[in-house]
Amino acid sequence: MKRIKIETKNKLILEDIEGFYKRKVTPFGNSAKVDCPKEHMGKKVYLIIVK
């Protein structure tokens, strides 16, 4: 899997938000996954990492 560099920022402004979920990252083989409802399949999503 390709590694993507995380950009550290203090502020994020988004428009046209349909909603958000708070989920836990869980192990999946040698990687990790975040579960979300099937209704979002095929949509563009943003995963925000918080401290």
Domain ranges of the chain: 1-51
Does position 51 have pLDDT exceeding 80, yes or no? Answer: no
Model confidence pLDDT, tens digit, residues 1-39: 678 788 888 888 888 888 888 889 999 999 999 988 898
**Cα–Cα distance measured from residue 43 to residue 27, given in angstroms and rounded to the nearest whole number:** 23
Give yes or no for a contact between 37 and 28, defined as CB atoms under 8 angstroms apart: no
Look at residue 6 in the predicted model and tell me its pLDDT.
81
Give yes or no for a contact between 25 and 32, defined as CB atoms under 8 angstroms apart: yes
Look at residue 1 in the predicted model and tell me its pLDDT.
67
**42: pLDDT confidence band, cut at 50, 70 and 90?**
very high
